[in-house]
Amino acid sequence: MLILGIESSCDETAAAVVRDGYEVLSSVIHTQIALHAPHGGVVPEIASRSHIEKIPSVIRRAVEEAGCSFGDIDAVAVTYGPGLASSLLVGLSAAKGLATALGKPLIGIDHIEAHIQSAFLAPESPRKEDFLPLLALVVSGGHSAIIRVGTEGRPRVIGQTLDDAAGEAFDKAAQLLGLGYPGGPAIQKAALSAHGELGYEFPKGHISRDNPALGCLRADLCFSFSGLKTSLRTYLQKNPVRDEEHRNRIAAAYQDAIVDALASRCAKALKSGKCKGFAVGGGVSLNAALRARLKEVAEEAGVPIFLPEPKYCGDNAAMIAALAGTGAGIRGDAAFLLDATPNLTFA
């Protein structure tokens, strides 16, 4: 079964062909970072226009590089949410048109669930199905969630950020520190160059139990990053950056706070969740300090950890086609009726 995946939820235009859910035959990603960098973040209007311009050639290349033809494709899978409405619409419209023209099924895929699948895309990687129930941490520029995938394969959010996403926290800090966009790689690079401690700890995003935004989620599995950003701003007002070393130490302390917030909540979830494995995905999962810390957390909990290859950490379409290949997603006539769903959450 060959599935063509299409992804356009944010600032990457991507297409990929995956065989039987696990074998990636091609994965083409056109990133818009250079277009958004001068603005310090993603501009939706610029993003959707670029998707429209690039999507035909990205899809064509994915099919060519897979060594097949459009006639060989058995189904078209596409992200329908969450993400930017005007960006999602481009991929969704392309996929509906293509599936209709080819006379093939359309499969609507949840972007966050697909990030979990990205941890199982390496050629030697085991099958996700063998590690259910599975705990997953998805951390990107738009989302930060701890998810439990049950034995029947259904994902459920058990913890999340109550405000900013982890990637957003990195991006905003980089802006405050004058380190450019995207912030994650810039903060990581600065943190790596720090030669000593800052001597100041940023808050670890703890949530009080009576926070109304929790709904039915556990306070000790949720986190907040908006206070962290504010505390950096306050710190910088009182302690303006003195030199390169000072900036690097601030970056390292800030990164520590994010890593600690995420890792401590995952450790708690693994303690209480009786999971067989731990998967991580999303752009922030590229962060070396986070990867190292999460490996320790998994080891302490006695479960295997599955981390995506760097090329599958950020947004890509291989994860979309792969997840569709495992049987997930909206299918049949319902798929052709799907609308772009910016705030899509698991049912």
CB neighbour class for 32 (10 Å; exposed up to 12, middle 13-18, buried from 19) = buried
Q: How far is the CB of 254 from Zn ion (least distance, A)?
A: 22
Residue nearest to Zn ion (CB): 140
Q: Among 5, 91, 183, 308, which residue interacts with ligand KG4 (rule: CB under 6 A)?
A: 183
Question: Is the CB of 110 or the CB of 260 nearer to Zn ion?
Answer: 110
| Cα separation, 220 vs 207, whole angstroms | 7
Q: Among 108, 167, 277, 325, which residue interacts with ligand KG4 (rule: CB under 6 A)?
A: 167
Peptide bond into 56 cis (omega under 30): no
- The answer to whether 10 contacts ligand KG4 (rule: CB under 6 A) is yes
Q: Among 134, 287, 293, 306, which residue interacts with ligand KG4 (rule: CB under 6 A)?
A: 287
Question: Is the CB of 110 or the CB of 315 nearer to ligand KG4?
Answer: 315
Q: What does the block give as tokens for 25?
A: 């035959």
Closest CA to 263 of 146, 140, 148: 146
Alpha-carbon Rg for the chain, nearest whole angstrom, is 20
Question: Is the CB of 168 or the CB of 315 nearer to Zn ion?
Answer: 315
- The answer to whether 41 contacts ligand KG4 (rule: CB under 6 A) is no
Q: What does the block give as tokens for 86?
A: 């005007």
Using DSSP, state whether 313 is helix, strand or coil: coil
- The answer to whether 308 contacts ligand KG4 (rule: CB under 6 A) is no
| Cα separation, 137 vs 148, whole angstroms | 9
Buried b (16+ CB within 10 A) or exposed e, 249-261: bbbbbbbbbbbbb
- Name the segment binding ligand KG4 (CB under 6 A); options: 125-133, 191-199, 216-224, 282-290: 282-290
| Cα separation, 324 vs 329, whole angstroms | 6
Q: Among 55, 284, 297, 303, which residue interacts with ligand KG4 (rule: CB under 6 A)?
A: 284
Closest CA to 188 of 179, 201, 199, 197: 179
Q: How far is the CB of 220 from ligand KG4 (least distance, A)?
A: 24
Q: How far is the CB of 312 from Zn ion (least distance, A)?
A: 11
- The answer to whether 108 contacts ligand KG4 (rule: CB under 6 A) is no
Question: Is the CB of 138 or the CB of 221 nearer to ligand KG4?
Answer: 138
- Name the segment binding ligand KG4 (CB under 6 A); options: 90-98, 167-175, 220-228, 331-339: 167-175
Report the DSSP beta bridge partners of residue 337: none
Buried b (16+ CB within 10 A) or exposed e, 286-310: bbebbbebbeebbeebebebbbbee
Q: How far is the CB of 203 from ligand KG4 (least distance, A)?
A: 18
CB 157 within 8 A of CB 145: yes
Q: Among 22, 131, 170, 254, which residue interacts with ligand KG4 (rule: CB under 6 A)?
A: 170
Q: Among 113, 256, 260, 315, which residue interacts with ligand KG4 (rule: CB under 6 A)?
A: 315
- Restricting to residues 141-160, name those near ligand KG4 by CB under 6 A: 141-142
Q: Among 7, 113, 171, 256, which residue interacts with ligand KG4 (rule: CB under 6 A)?
A: 171
Q: In the chain, where do the E strands start and end?
A: 2-7, 12-19, 23-31, 75-81, 106-110, 134-139, 144-149, 155-160, 277-281, 305-306
Question: Is the CB of 141 or the CB of 205 nearer to Zn ion?
Answer: 141
C-alpha distances (whole Å) from 279 to each of 82, 93, 204, 263, 276 are 20, 31, 22, 13, 10
- The answer to whether 314 contacts ligand KG4 (rule: CB under 6 A) is yes
Q: How far is the CB of 177 from ligand KG4 (least distance, A)?
A: 13
Amino acid at 237: Q
- The answer to whether 182 contacts ligand KG4 (rule: CB under 6 A) is yes
Q: How far is the CB of 184 from ligand KG4 (least distance, A)?
A: 2
Residues that bind ligand KG4 in the complex, under the rule CB under 6 A: 10, 140-142, 167, 170-171, 182-185, 188, 282-284, 286-287, 314-315
